[in-house]
Structures are given as structure tokens and as C-alpha cells.
Structure 1
Amino acid sequence: MAPTDGALRPLDVDGVRLNAGGLLGAWQRRNATATLPHCVAQLEEAGALDNVRRVLGLTDREHTPMWFADSDIYKTLEAAAWELAHPDADPRLREFVESTAELLAKVQDDDGYLNTYFTTEKPELRWRELDWSHELYCAGHLIQAAVAAARVGVGERLPGVARRFADLIVARYGPGGVPAVCGHAQIETALVELYRLTGHRPYLDTARRFIDLRGQGLGGHGRFGPAYWQDHVPVREASTATGHVVRQWYLLAGAVDVAVETGDPELISAAERLWEDAHGTKTYITGGQGARHRDEAFGNAYELPPERAYAETCGAIASFQWNWRMLLATGTGRYADAMETALYNAIAAAIATDGRHFFYANPLQRRADHDSANDHAPDRRQPWYSCACCPPNLARLMASLQSYLATTDADGLQVHLYGSGMVSARVGDTAVGLAVVTGYPWQGQVRMTVTTQPAQAPREWTLALRIPAWCTSFTLTVDGAPVTAPVRAGYARISRAWPTTSTVVLDLDMPRAWSPPTRTSTPCAAASPSPEGRSSTASSRPICPRGFRWRTCGWTPQPRCGRRPSATCPTAWSP
């Protein structure tokens, strides 16, 4: 849903159509024809849907595989809903959404509670183990599936099911209710999305309360300590990204959503501070995050072993989604840069070309004697996992991928990710079309045909095109004539009263870049073309506070030699 406030606004659900001949469109088509049907089939084979039927006594199959497997159903429902927004969607997906929504409505308790594990297996522990129960986490994914269904106009019963559960959560944990937080953040951003859909203020107020209650020790300590679920310090006071990676980014996604809707600059500042820490010192060159397998967590600054990288697929997806929210809130290009790096590397590598096999963990180097006994770190992609969070998460991202390409604001249209397709938007009273043809990311040229249909006389508006931080030079032409466009916040901006049809060509220089080695047990460096494998803030260096870009040289940043970055150093930093 579109934020109430913020620098940028997303387009309508049908505002972008990807061309299947381009890379992003091909990924989305593969998702529709392979990944999503595979996920639906695995819900049956692995037993997640039978967990729901078991509540009704329709099967005697034991609850399997995980106590939070309901979330796999909800993520697949969300993916199906987004896919049904496409004109060529498989009509069988509608039947899946409708029949599953009907099944969920039948098993939902009279008070709105809906969780198969704590209904059939541990009813006496309902709401009593929020640190590990994932009850609110599952509820959040149910709500997000319902929001997607409502926006697309499918699954008529699903929004009602989600609202009844959300109303129960508000009554129990909203302002004046039980002070508690979920061990796995997710409910926060879901409640804000539901508020945007319905306008019902208690959903937003409850999301904000969950954010405000973090850091008070309500989540308990557990075997990993409170930092594992970001309950060691209030969100507004946090200075470092810590603990379980997915939990950290889902929490900050909710915090940014709350900040945008309530006008809370303190929360935005906290999110920016944690971005600096994570992307400056704890991010692999692939955009993956999480150095530690034991707790799926961030390591210390510059602790980035390639062969022991956890870099969970869901962590990359969560980072992508959080950076999207930061982009909407601030309009700053570095967040789109981070999205691009994760998308073309950490996320792309997690799924096989057949669309039916997946990585859970994504180490950058795999030794010949790698121990693949752990289900989450096999030596090859798997069709499913006992903890199956990643495959349906990939499905819901790919089904909605077109939604992340462009936005609008009061001044014009912004293009953040480059892919062949068609963008349709309104800038003020002007209907704008943008037909994009590109070989990106293999080639740096992006050709755009701009069409306008003003309601009255043409007025000036701005087409803003992202210039990635790795790009050292670029050229722009409009109708064949060279254009000098100012670059602000990472975007080249062309302002004019656009005629009915114009052709804009952006050529991005794509240099081959060397990234110096990180502090690891295995000395290594990476060579890569941009943007694949080239982070705008590579994990092996600190971020210059004045915004200077890194230039490859023999200078070694902290912590190896103790020398500090200097904006005046001619070899270490350049504007």
C-alpha cells in the first residue's frame, strides 16, 4: 500500500508490466510457471495444508514440519495474489487462494485466533511463549497475504479472516494492553499495511507500541541473549545492526513504516544509523548479510568469512524490502543501490534456473570437504526445507518484482531499477507512459520512450533516473541531443515540459571493479563487472561520512592497519 507520507509514492499494482524478454521479466515468468506452482505443491507434500485440515479433523497426519509452518501458507498466498494481478496469470491460482481462504475461515476461533500448532498441539501455551512461538510472526504474514489479496481483488474471505485476527491482537496487545513483543518481528509492518488498507487507526497504534516496547527485556534472554531478537536496547537508541538478520530487517521495516505514517524522524534516524553500520561493515559483496550459522546472525564489524557466510536468502529479501521502505521514506539512491546489489547477487543465486531448487544459506566459497549434513547448508540447492521460509519468500518477491522499479512524487517520475517493460503513472494531471528497452545488467544502455497525455497544457515535470554509485560516468540524450542533467541524491534529473513523445537514452559506464579482501581466514579478493557482485558500500571498507566514493588502491582501511579514512587522501577517497 502507498505510504501516507514520505518522499516517494509507489505506483498502482498494475503500474508496471515487465517484458518476459528481459532479465527481470524472465525471472518473474519463471516464478509464475515454476516456483509458485512448486510452492503450492510443497504445501501439500510437506504437510502445511494438512496442519490446517487437522484442526477440522479431516486428517490424522501429525503436525509437520515446523510450529510456524502456517507462515509458509501465508507467504504462498501472498505470492499467488500478486501473481493474479498479471493479465496472463494461471487461473488455478485463484482457486488456490479462494479455497485456502475458505479453509482458514473454517478453522479460525470465534475470538479471531488462528494458529494451527497452538490450536492442536499446545493450546495451553497460547500467547505464553512469544519469544519463540512465532504466533505474531505468522499473524503478520497472514495479514500481508490479505492486504495483497484485497489490492488485487481476489480471496474475498481472506481480508476478513486477517482483520478478525488483527482485532484480537489489538485488543490484547494494543495501547493499554499486555506489554509484550514477538521474538520474530513481522507483525509491525503488517499492521501498518493493514492500516493503510483500512484506515483503522488502532492497527497503526499497535504497531507503534510493538516498536516502542523493544529494548525493555520483554522478549526474555533465551540461549542467544536479547540482542538476538533486538530486545537489548530501544530501537531509537540502537547503534549497530545485531542479532538474527531477518528479525533485524523486519523490525526496521516496521519501524520505518511507523515513522512514515506518524511523522517520527527519530525512528528514521535510527534506521539510517543501522544502515550505515550494516552496509558499511557487515555486508558481503553480494549484498548478503549474516556471518554466523549458529544463530543466523550478524557477526562483528568486518567479520565476513566467505566460506562460512550464512547470508540467508530470507535475510537478503528482508534487506531488499527494508531498503525499499528507506527509499520511499527518503528518496535517496543508495537504498536502491543496495536493493540492486542484493537482487542481482544474493537473491538471484538463491534460486536455480529451473525455479524449483533453492539455497537457504549462501556462502561465497564452498570447500571440497564442506559438511553438508545441516539441512540449512547443503552442498547444492534443495527443492524444499524443513524450515521452508525461503522458497515462498522468493515467490512473493518475484511475483511483485515490478512494483519496485518506479515511483512518483509531486515533481515527477523516478526509475530505480532498470528492466525492459512498460511503466504507466500519473504525474499531477498528466498520464505518463515509459516504455523501457534494455539489456541491463549485462549492458549499460537503457532506452526509454516517454509518452504523455496532459489533461490540459503540458507542464514541466522531472524524469529522475538512478545513477548507481558504482558508475563512474554516464551520458544522456533526449531525442538524440546530448543532455546535461544534475545528479542529486543518486539520480540524474531531466526537467522539461515533455511533448507527446520523446526518446531518452541513458548510457551507464560499467567498469570492471576490484574489491579488496576482507578480514577473513581465507585471503581473497573479488573482480566483477557492475552491478553484479559490486556493492556501492563494499563490506571491506568503512563509509566515508562526507559521501566520498571508494577508489581501488593499495591503501588498507581499518581495522587492519589503523589508518583512518581521509577525505583529502588522493588515493583512498574520491568525490
Structure 2
Amino acid sequence: MTMQITTTAPQAPVAPSRGRLRPLGQNEVRITGGFWGDRQAVNAAGTLAHIGARLESEGWLPNFDLAVSGGLPEGRRGREFSDSEVYKYLEGLAWEIGRTGSPELEQRFREVVSRVSAAQEPDGYLNTRFGRPGQGARWSDLEWGHELYCLGHLFQAAVARARTRPHADDGLLEVARRAADMVCREFGADGRDAICGHAVVEVGLAELARVTGDDRYLEQARLFVERHGRGTLRDIEWGRKYYQDDIPVRDAEALRGHAVRANYLAAGAADVAIDTGDDRLLEALRGQWDRTVARRTYITGGQGSHHQDEAFGEDWELPADRAYSETCAGVGSIMFSWRLLLAGADPRHADLIERTLYNVVATSPAPDGRAFFYANTLHQRVPGIPADPDTTSPRASSSLRAPWFEVSCCPPNVARTLASLDAYVATADGEGVQLQQYAPASVRTTLPDGRVIAFDVETDYPASGLVRVIVTDAAPDAEWTLTLRVPAWAGGARLRVVSSSGEVAAESDAAPGAVEARRAFRAGDVVELDLPMAPRLTAPDERIDAVRGCLVIERGPEVFALESVDLAVAGVDDVAQVALAPGAAPVERDGRVWIDVVRHGESDACWPYGEPGDEPGGAASVQVPLVPYHEWAERGPSTMRVWIPAAT
């Protein structure tokens, strides 16, 4: 496949009007294999087809046909937000068509758009749950109705299509514009002073403004952001913080409430802040990100510790066995972090994206891409129950990956993220290109002053830590800077520049953060970043009560887990029966990470408490293998834990 070298708007989910960095889109970056290339292939061949089939069989896509034929409300199936899953599916298709040019997916995309557009009302309104005889009136349930939420995902799908196929005649962009015009009339400065109970319309409107150049959409996004925190939505048992209507966005200290809603709102607020030049709002969002990451984020990058309201807990409230860590919250976190990265070039934002990609997004789908985790626990106490492949799971917190959910937001969210992942690999500024994520890739772009940059990335990261950038084309005698992110965990990294003649031109340590190589690159020059990948022990902040006295094993960006299926060598069948041996250190052998554990002492005492040191000690240790967290539950039901108690 070839990519055009361009300085126009990137084929990317996010294209801010200003900021330190410009994202390089699918037209400039292509993942060519490796960890993420394999997952993109599964997403294209398995996940998108699976989602399309389920949208049909569950009735959520046929809802649009019923809207046209007059079969609503009697025949409608699915929750009030089921329209949004169709729109996320369309967005995933659009990015995949942009990535591969698949004629089969193009045909499918057009078929779905035709069915959706036929259901749009003359004034632009589009929803299968409200507005018809026998249904609730439009905008009659802003707390739970999700009408604006659904439209937000419609707008994002239209943006994906406009950026990947700007001259397509399928009509999706026109459908989105009619709906957005209706939203501006209904909720503009002279209209309803209200918000949606589930944020995302803000993101959709902001990106639609960027695609169309129509500032009305950006202004409407700004109005929605500023209206949050005024208490316009009804109070509920979890409080208005559930839908971020308790405190104005710019006054909050951390993300709070429903974790998906919170991240989507923060992403939309970042779009508004960046494109309107509201530096005060942007600084507030940076502060919220800082505190949320420092005190409300799991070791995996997952967010949300409450099951009942799918919400953030308070600072340090991060129980492993009750981790909700919804897959969609991980996607939302990536959306928020990416916008802050583009605005300020802080590598910490790319670090969190990497952690979340490897340990939340990659964990959700099964190897065949046809079953998913909705929630991502860090401690499975009871072996799960295999899901019926023909049944829709009523429970978001299913104990094993399930093929579909009554609330099915996660599968299409994973699909659209993987299909657009090329656009999260690299960025550019006036001086050069920055690699933000590591995967085998081809990068071709042109800087604003005309300097051509073309290179390939060779790596099997995270299997090893060697990343090789091979320059394939460059403007003669024109210097530019290649910047490579050095993750926070990568102390001891090294950078080496080798000229096309084979001479070592430069070699140095590369401290965590970012490292630069600047020169007049020539074809054949190679830049090598060597990241240390030895497995390591990680301890929690002592204020995280739930895992005090436990340790995690990490290797590179991957968090590892202990599964009961690997404990036969220790003579036990449950992770609850072992602890890390005193002084245990992880090692690599036979392509796996191993750790020494000891069995807990067995006691028939009728009271599980006693004097310090009562626990029998001195048991012989045995070495057991671990699995990357994203691979857990792939060998049948098991107990599992990420945080392992450390024996004393």
C-alpha cells in the first residue's frame, strides 16, 4: 500500500486547529505488522463482521428500517442508546476502509448509511427511541435518553468518513450536518439551556466543526461544556457528579462520576479549549488529568472502581477485586490523553495511552475478535463461566469474555479504536516527527516548509525493546529532528545513530521522557532506541489500602497476571493459595516471565485474625509462570490476580 505525502488535514480522529503537535493520519502512517498489526487484522476480519452480524440479529440496525416503515415503537429492540452502536460501527468501518480500501466494507458501509439516512426526519432529527406516536417526546429524558449522545457518535462516524473519503457520495456527512443544524437550533444560546446525561456530543460537534469549517458546531460544543455543573439534570441516588453536572468543568480537580462520561466530556472540553484558545480551561483539564492519573487510575491504565455506577472512586480507592475498569473508559481515557498530548507534547500523556492500549484495549477482545470483556477486573476470585456464543450477556461484568452485551458499547468502541490506531503512532511539528507509539510502521510526510520525511520502523516491541528507524527518503542537506518517546519505566535506555555508511554517528543514554536525533538525514541512516525490557516488580502507593503489601510484575508496557491454570507446579489450584516468596525477583525463561511463590499456611482456626507473625513461614518456594494481563482467561476458566501478596 502507498500513502500520499501531504500537509493537509490528516486522516485521523482528532485534527485540532492549534497545538504543539500535528497528528499524522492514516495517509501518512501505516502500521505494517507486529503486536498491533496482528490485532488490526483480527479486527478487520473478525470483530467488524461480528459486530455487523449482531447489530442485525439483535434488531438494532433493523430499528432504522422500522422507523421508515412505521413499525415503531412496537418492533423496536435494544436499549435507548442502541442507535449509537450502529454509528460506532460505521466509524470503525470508515477507518478500516481508509486503512485497507476494502471494496466489501465499502459496500457494507453504504448499505448501512442508506438505512440510517432513510430514518432521518425532515428537520434533521434522528433517533429510533423517541419522537413518534407511542414513544417519549423528543428531549423528554435528557438524563437517560441518550439522544444527544447518539448524535455525538453519528458526528464522529461522519468525520471519519469525511477524512478518509472526502469526496464520497454516500451522504453520511450531509445526514450529520442536518442533525447538527437541528441541535444548534434546539440547544443554541436562544434554545434549551440543557445538556445530555451522557457526554460525547461535545466531541462530535467539535470535530464536525473542524471538518466542515462551520464554527456554529464548535460554539454549540462550547455551550454544552459550559453548561455542565449547573445542576440542570435531575439529581439521582449517585448524585449529579454521575453525569458531571455537579461542578463546572473548569472548576473540577479530578475526573469523577461515571468514568466513560467523564472522559468523553474531558475530551470534548479539550477540543473546545484548544480551538477557542481558552488556555484557562485547558490548564484546568491538565490538572484534572494529573490528579486522576496519580490517584484514580489502576496499574493497567484502567479507570473506574465502582460497579454500581460505573464510576471513579475517591482518591486511592482502587480495589483490585472490584475494579470495574470499563473498556470504554479506557478508550475515553485515550481520547482525552491524546488531545492533551497534541496540545502540549508532554510524553506522560503518550505513556498513559500506551499503558491503556496494552492492558485495557488489548485485553477486551478474544484472540478471534468475537468475544469481549466489558469490565476488566484485576482479581478474579472464582473461575468464570464460559459464555454461550449465541446468547447476549445481561451483565457488563461478565466473568469471561462474552460475544455480546445488552449494553454493547465496548465491542464497537474497541473496533473503531483499532481501525484508527495508525493515527496514534506519530506526530509532527515544524522541526520534525515524533514517534509516540512503537510498532512496525511506514511513515511518509512533509513538513510545512517542504522538507520530505520518510522512514520505516522495524521492531517486535514489546517482545523486545529494540526500535529501529530506517530513513528511506529525505530532502538533501535539510536537517530535521526525530524524537522518540522513552517511557517512564525505561530507565537505562540507549540511543544510537548509524549513518548510511555504517558508521556510528552518535550514541548516548536516553532518559525517560523523550530523546532527539537531529541531523541532515540521508536514505539508509538508522536511528536505534534500545529500551530495557527486563521484568520488574512494582509496588503500590501506600495510600492504596486495597493492595497494600502486594506487588505487580511488569515487563515493558505490559502488566502481568498470575492465573490458577499455571499453579499445578506449586500443588495448588487457586491464586488465593500463594504469595510471592520473600525476596522474589521475576526472571525470563522460555519466552515467559516467572516468579517464585510460596503456599499460604493452611489453618483450621475458627477466627482468621491473630498476632503479627502468626502466619506459618518457612515454606519452600517454587517458580511459576505469569501471563501478560491481556492474555488472561484465554485458556478456560481460572482464578487470577495482578496484585500478588508478598510473603514476609
- Structure 1 residue 370 displacement after superposition: 7.0
Q: Which one of 415, 418, 423 corresponds to residue 403 of structure 1? A: 423
- The one-letter amino acid of 1:478's match is V
Of 466-475 and 121-130, more deviation after overlay is shown by: 121-130
Summarize deviations over 1:8-55 as a string: whole Å, max 9, x none: 0011332111113x1111111110000011111111011111111111
Matching of residue 83 in structure 1 with residue 96 in structure 2:
yes
Which of 459, 478, 499 is the matching residue for 1:438?
459
Partner of 2:115: 103
1:29 aligned residue? 41
Hey, what's the Cα distance between the residues in 2 that align with 1:172 and 1:57? 27
Work out whether 1:294 is the aligned partner of 2:315: no
1:117 to 125, 129, 145: 129
Q: Work out which of the residue numbers 470, 484, 489 in structure 2 matches 1:465.
A: 484
The C-alpha deviation readout for 1:112-150, integer Å capped at 9, x for no partner, is: 000001144764421121111111100000010011111
C-alpha contact (below 8 Å) 2:489/2:512 kept by paired residues: no
Deviations 1:470-527 (A, max 9, x none): 1101111111516356979921011122223311111111242222243117853211
RMSD: 2.0
Q: Is contact 1:486–1:493 with CA below 8 Å preserved after alignment? A: no
> Is 1:145 matched with 2:157?
yes
Could you tell me which residue of structure 2 aligns to residue 483 of structure 1? 506
Equivalent positions of 1:126-275 (< 5 A) are 126-153=138-165, 154=168, 156-275=170-289
Aligned to 2:586: none
- Which moved further from structure 2: 483-492 or 145-154? 483-492
Quick one: distance in 2 between partners of 1:26 and 1:43?
25
CA separation of 1:487/1:175 partners in 2, compared to 1, >3 Å: closer, same or farther?
farther
Instruction: Say whether residues 1:392 and 2:412 are aligned partners.
Output: yes
Cα 1:122/1:261, change in 2 over 3 Å: farther
* Partner Cα distance (2:231, 2:99) in 1: 45
In structure 2, how many angstroms separate the alpha carbons of the residues matched to 1:495 and 1:486?
15
Q: Which runs of 5+ in 1 are unaligned?
A: 535-575
Give SS of 2:494's match: strand
2:482 partner amino acid: L
State the Cα distance separating 1:90 from its structure 2 match. 3.5
Deviation at 1:341, TM superposition (A): 0.3
User: Helix, strand or coil: the match of 1:491?
Assistant: strand
The 2-side partners of 1:15 and 1:237 are apart by 38
In 1, Cα distance between equivalents of 2:145 and 2:311: 19
Residues 285-324 of structure 1 correspond to what in structure 2 (within 5 A)?
285-324=299-338
Change (3 A) 1:422 1:495: same
Distance 1:163 1:211, change over 3 A: same
Q: Using the alignment, how far apart are the partners of 2:385 and 2:115 within structure 1?
A: 41
**Deviations, residues 293-341 of structure 1 (Å, cap 9, x unaligned):** 0000011111111111100000011111111111111111000000000
Aligned partners of 1:134 and 1:483: how far apart in 2?
56
Residue 38 (1) aligns with residue 50 (2):
yes
The letter of the residue matching 1:267 is: L
The answer on whether the counterparts of 2:384 and 2:400 sit within 8 Å (CA) in structure 1 is: no
2:85 match: 72
1:404-455 residue CA offsets vs partner (Å, 9 max, x unmatched): 000111111000000002111112312211201101012100011013342x
The alpha carbon displacement at 1:62 in A equals 2.4
Matched residues in 2 for 1:521 and 1:148: separation? 41
CA distance 1:490–1:91, shift in 2 (3 Å):
same
1:177 shift after superposition: 2.4
In structure 2, what is the equivalent of residue 326 of structure 1? 340
Paired residue secondary structure (2:399): coil
1:3 to 13, 16, 19: 16
Equivalent position amino acid for 2:158 in 1? A
In structure 2, the residue corresponding to 1:116 is in which secondary structure? coil
Q: Quick one: which amino acid aligns to residue 330 of structure 1?
A: G
Deviation digits for residues 338-372 of structure 1 (CA, Å, limit 9, x no counterpart): 00000000111111111100011110111127799
Question: In 2, distance between residues paired with 1:466 and 1:63?
Answer: 49
Deviates more, 1:41-50 or 1:499-508: 499-508
Is the 1:188–1:210 Cα contact (8 Å) retained in structure 2?
yes
Q: 1:423 aligns with which of 443, 456, 465?
A: 443
List per-residue Cα deviations over 1:50-85 (Å, max 9, x = no partner). Answer: 111111227687211111100000000000000001
Paired amino acid for 2:333? S
Q: Deviations over 1:157-207 (max 9, x none)?
A: 100000000000011112332211111000101111001101101001111
**1:561 aligned residue:** none
Match of 1:494 in 2: 517
2:152, 2:205 within 8 Å by CA — same for their partners in 1? yes
* In structure 2, distance between residues paired with 1:516 and 1:358: 29
**C-alpha distance 59-94 of structure 1, shift in aligned 2 (>3 A):** farther
Q: Structure 1 residues 462 and 138 mapped into 2: Cα distance closer, same or farther (>3 Å)?
A: same
For 1:492 and 1:442, how far apart are their aligned partners in 2?
22
**1:268 offset after TM fit, Å?**
1.2
C-alpha distance in structure 2 between counterparts of 1:189 and 1:330, whole Å: 19
- The percentage of counterpart residues that share the same residue type is 41
For 1:167, what is the secondary structure of its paired residue? helix
Match of 1:53 in 2: 65
- Structure 2: stretches of 5+ with no match in the other structure: 1-13, 387-392, 561-648
- Distance in 2, matches of 1:125 and 1:250, equals 26
SS in 2 for 1:56: helix
The CA distance in 2 between the partners of 1:489 and 1:255, in whole Å, is: 29
More divergent stretch after superposition (401-410 vs 362-371): 362-371
One-letter code of the match for 1:483? Answer: A
Aligned residues of 1:476 and 1:482 also touching (Cα < 8 A): no
One-letter code of the match for 1:432? Answer: I
Please give the alpha-carbon distance, in whole angstroms, between the structure 2 residues aligned to 1:23 and 1:247: 29
How far does residue 374 in structure 1 lie from its aligned partner after superposition? 6.0
Of 496-505 and 516-525, deviating more is 516-525
Q: Say which structure, 1 or 2, has more relative contact order (CA 8 Å, 6+ apart).
A: 1
> What count of residue pairs does the alignment treat as equivalent?
530
Paired residue for 1:516? 539
Q: Classify the secondary structure of the residue corresponding to 2:15.
A: coil
* Structure 2 counterpart of 1:53, one-letter code: D
Residues 179 and 487 of structure 1: CA distance in aligned 2, closer, same or farther (over 3 Å): farther
Q: Secondary structure at the match of 2:179?
A: helix
Quick one: distance in 1 between partners of 2:394 and 2:545? Answer: 26
Distance 1:458 1:359, change over 3 A: same
